[in-house]
Chain A
């Protein structure tokens, strides 16, 4: 069985870098420092439930904004010629070649008091707190993860055969109906993977809130801090986050299947 042999290195890779770490996280989450079984870690973790809910809230809002921005954009990109498409996609990707921290720091500079945006707004007599609040965190998140929403939606949309659109027109669809009956249902898989690709990292990311959110941390930041002093509680929080995300993924996929088949 040649084909099986070729997969061994990857299986080994998965074992070393996925399975074992996962098992370790689970082990730490259910044991104390001496290695004895305990549920105390989860009790400790529940102290952070407020941060946890806040993180999910920020992630949901950011994902929603990404979707609202990315969907029409992906649609209009997918109607361009192929050359134009790859050029626009490249321009969307260019910021991602820069370091993640640098990009967040750029937002700090833009949004800070007496920064360019604040100065500009003060000309119009507006004095707002642009940084150190949830809004700033969401702006940072959307900026970071927008391309992850655009790419899957665009790739699904650009694969919609023109003849399907023509067929719909031919069968009596106005532009609106072509969208509702053909383009939208066919783009659902892209929306699902876009939402997944944005929601999961926004829910668990760290540093963005530290820079832009003032005192309001997100769960990713909490895990980072807690882990430095207490592996066990850190693992417990991480495990809870993982389970929640897993639940979310299962839900999204079910929704997607239903959407793709029915209608």
Chain B
């Protein structure tokens, strides 16, 4: 089947008061598909939708609609309609007039408007509600009016901005199925924004996983679940055990000091990787039959399966199994090679290496000070002469978030937090560089924190100028 592009975004950048919201977004949206933009709050998914709707203009890059560039086309001239997050129904109009709004603007004959609105209200299951004021409707009904209002205009593309966010769980589940059915019935392109991964997997033909203004992965729900592109996607979609590993050779990975067989190739010998194993892919076997052995620390009944925490080599593993194990039992864990997913590290400077020059130092106090992004940072108990080049290695555990709010580096952005079995791996972004940090506490993504350095865990060496290149 030939897939026809309806909307395409080419190299789209967007900034909001100097903050990068979207960074080089490339996206093709096909005709009649249900595509979902999925990501945590602040990842830029809503902005992407607003660019397609025409409420925002990209700073760089182009938006195409059926091959025509539409960067400067105002929203009311685009053949897209939006279902807003909090419905945005007109409070001064009743259900009929809300739905008829777009048609009246287009100045369709009265008879036709009436017929179309009636049909649409039947599709969204609101027959007989025409004369009701919208304020008198429940959340789910308002939602349906909003959908009908967008669909009745017969747009090529319907944009939905977290439309189910305000509904309770049961209603949300029903509406998910209903929305999917409406999409199939009306044969329109739906672009759906959500932060709910389950919702995205349930409804979509394709999922676009976004993080920090970039697209992390585009694929079918099966693809993003089974073959996540990186640790972020694996962590965000479904549940996963993500563990640091080293690729010993093609199809051989070492984690927690044990060697496992896998099916991935081409990572290069001894390169550090992230290993992802889904909790349902772990098989529980007697302890003497497995390479990975652990002790069950917790068992929770979840209805379909038991969720168990297993402590193995100082690392917390999550296992889903239909057979319960007793807390304190020693069990073995095996995974078939196909289910071990290897992915490149998202971060390429795993020890936060800094090359810099000594800005100021004091032999009496035995301190060295260097400049980092305009801040003076003093290393205690180390002396290097002023002007010397130094190489600082800060392993992830040498960084910590200043509990008292006074950091050596302020306003550092938390880009991602991923649980690595024994600790959280946090990727941070300051003005000029990214940092990787280990932490036992959970931090909130997309917030700004002050960070400090523990130089007792760092190594600092003098470097010859010639060494550096």
Q: Which residues of A contact B (CB under 8 A)?
A: 161, 163-164, 166-174, 177, 181-182, 185-186, 260-261, 263
Contact = CB atoms under 8 A, between A and B. Distances in A.
A186 B106 contact: no
A164 B90 contact: yes
Contacts of A163: 84-86, 88
Given A166-B84, A167-B84, A172 B91 contact: no
Contacts of B92: 185-186, 260-261, 263
Nearest to B102: A171
A171 B84 contact: no
Interface stretch (B73-81, B264-272, B299-307): B73-81
Contacts of A161: 86, 88
Q: Dominant SS at the A interface?
A: helix
A166 B55 contact: yes
Interface in B76-116: 76-77, 80-82, 84-86, 88-93, 97, 101-102, 105-106
Given A181-B101, A181-B105, A170 B91 contact: no
Contacts of A171: 76, 81, 101-102, 105, 149-150, 153
B76 A169 contact: yes
Contacts of B80: 170
Given A182-B90, A263-B92, A173 B84 contact: no
Contacts of A169: 54-55, 74-76
A169 B97 CA distance: 16
A130 to B, nearest CB: 44
Contacts of B133: 261
A170 B75 contact: yes
A178 to B, nearest CB: 8
Contacts of A263: 92-93, 97
Given A169-B76, A172-B77, A177-B105, 7 more contacts: A161-B88, A164-B90, A167-B84, A170-B150, A171-B102, A172-B102, A172-B153
B201 to A, nearest CB: 28
27 contacts: A163-B84, A164-B90, A164-B91, A166-B53, A166-B55, A166-B84, A167-B84, A167-B89, A167-B149, A168-B90, A168-B101, A169-B54, A169-B75, A169-B76, A170-B80, A171-B81, A171-B149, A171-B150, A171-B153, A172-B76, A172-B102, A172-B106, A173-B76, A173-B105, A260-B92, A261-B92, A263-B92
B105 A170 contact: no
A263 B100 CA distance: 12
Given A163-B84, A163-B88, A177-B105, A170 B53 contact: yes
Interface residues of B, number: 28
A174 B76 CA distance: 6
Contacts of A260: 92
Contacts of B76: 169-174
Interface in B60-80: 74-77, 80
B92 to A, nearest CB: 5
A161 B85 CA distance: 12
Task: Name the residue in A181, A186, A261, A263 with the highest tally of chain B Cβ atoms < 10 Å from its Cβ.
Answer: A181
B82 A170 contact: yes
A173 B54 CA distance: 13
A192 B56 CA distance: 35
Nearest to B85: A163
Contacts of B105: 171-173, 177, 181
A263 B96 CA distance: 11
A185 B76 CA distance: 20
B145 to A, nearest CB: 12
Closest 6 CB pairs of A and B: A171-B102, A163-B88, A167-B88, A169-B75, A172-B105, A185-B92
B211 to A, nearest CB: 26
A159 B211 CA distance: 33
B90 A167 contact: yes
B465 to A, nearest CB: 52
B81 A170 contact: yes
B49 to A, nearest CB: 11
A263 B101 CA distance: 11
A188 to B, nearest CB: 8
Task: Name the residue in B74, B101, B153 with the highest tally of chain A Cβ atoms < 10 Å from its Cβ.
Answer: B101
Contacts of B102: 171-172
Interface in B121-167: 133, 149-150, 153
A182 B97 CA distance: 12
Contacts of A172: 76-77, 102, 105-106, 153
